[in-house]
Amino acid sequence: MLLIETDRAPYVVRNPQFGKQLLDAKKPAGENKVWMPIEWEVPWRRLESTESATRLDLLKLLVPSEALPECELLEGQMSAQTNVNGTMFAGSLDIYVSSRTGRQVVFPKHRCKVEFRVGTEEALTRLGIDRIIPNSNEKRGGMPNDYSTWIIEGPGETIIKDPGKVRVLFAGNFKKMDDLSHDIEVVLTLRTTMSDSQVVVRAPMGVDKSPSPGNVRNWRVTPKLY
């Protein structure tokens, strides 16, 4: 086992297989003996495994890390409906986003995710993010921001040029869930471009005692009052 402190990363380590004769399973017998040509490499932690760093990984170390934006939960709701395929969940979270550096913030949709858990369950169930859009209730200069120039939704990302509210829409269909009488927690994970760090927004939602017509259950976040 290789144990390395991370305060002075990256570390270059010698490959113990360097110079040794190895067998290449992709080549036919008799031609499958190769010499390991790599003498040094940089270990790179990725999720739960350790790999060799790529050129892009090393180049990222030379670029100043993008400061993560501040994301404040304002409101949120989720509903459940039963159908022939199981239970359909759909909801939204309203988030106030502001940059810590004054530069624009870009949320690529494929790098963001929404998950939820029911009651005291440990496991999280993943939902699909449909859109990250400007919040249509926000106004600036007396005009609604439906056609905002400071929050722009593209085909695969949302660009936030100035502080403002965005609405994250999500949904997912799962096998029938029998017990939906508990409170839930929705967990939103946001990643920006040029950063492997993440912003996690947790939204505990209480059961709405009066579900909307057609829904078997509704949950809501109580808006903060300042």
Q: Please report, for the domain that includes residue 162, its CATH number.
A: 2.60.40
90-145, pLDDT tens digit by residue? 999 999 999 887 888 899 999 999 999 988 888 888 999 999 988 755 444 444 44
Angstrom distance (rounded) from CA 180 to CA 184 = 9
Q: What CA dihedral angle connects 67, 68, 69 and 75, to 10 degrees?
A: -170
Evaluate if residue 189 carries a pLDDT over 50. Answer: yes
Kindly tell me the burial class for residue 149, based on how many C-beta atoms sit within 10 Å of its own C-beta (0-12, 13-18, 19 or more): exposed
In the predicted model, is pLDDT for residue 39 greater than 90? no
Q: Is residue 7 part of a domain?
A: no
Range of the domain at 204: 70-221
Same domain, 121 and 33: no
Displacement of CA 31 from its chain's centroid (Å): 46
pLDDT at 83: 84
Which tokens in the block code for residue 202?
């947790």
Q: What does the mean pLDDT of the chain come to?
A: 80
Residue 15 lies in a domain: no
- pLDDT class for 172, splitting at 50, 70, 90? very high
Q: In the structure encoding, which two tokens stand for residue 154, read together?
A: 């593209």
Residues 76 and 140 in one domain: yes
More confident residue, 89 or 150: 89
pLDDT score for 66: 65
Regarding whether 185 and 98 lie in a shared domain, the answer is: yes
If asked whether residues 74 and 42 sit together in one domain, one would say: no
On the question of pLDDT at 54 being above 60, the answer is yes
Residue 117, in any domain of the structure: yes
Q: What is the pLDDT of residue 12?
A: 82
Lowest mean pLDDT among 31-40, 57-66, 137-146, 163-172: 137-146
Q: Is residue 83 part of a domain?
A: yes
Predicted local confidence at residue 130, as pLDDT: 93
> In terms of domains, do 74 and 58 share one?
no
Residue 212 lies in a domain: yes
Residue 5 counted as domain residue: no
Tokens of residue 79, six digits: 């509903």
**In-domain check, residue 12:** no
Same domain assignment for residues 29 and 139: no
Are residues 83 and 169 part of one domain?
yes
Mind spelling out the 3-state secondary structure of the chain?
CCCCCCCCCCCCEECCCCCCEEECCCCCCCCCEEECCCCEECEEEECCEEEECCHHHHHHHHCCCCCCCEEEEEEEEEEEEEECCEEEEEEEEEEEEECCCCCCEEEEHHHCEEEEEECCCCCCEEEEEEEEEECCCCEECCEEHHHCCCEEECCCEEEECCCEEEEEEEEEEECCCCCCCCCEEEEEEECCCCCCCCEEEEEEEEECCCCCCCCCEEEEECCCCC
3 within domain boundaries: no
What six digits make up the tokens of 222?
Answer: 């109580």
- Say whether both 169 and 202 belong to one domain: yes
**Do residue 54 and residue 77 come from a single domain?**
no
For the chain, what is the domain count?
2
Report pLDDT for 188.
Answer: 95
Q: Do 52 and 79 lie in a common domain?
A: no
> pLDDT at position 147, please?
45
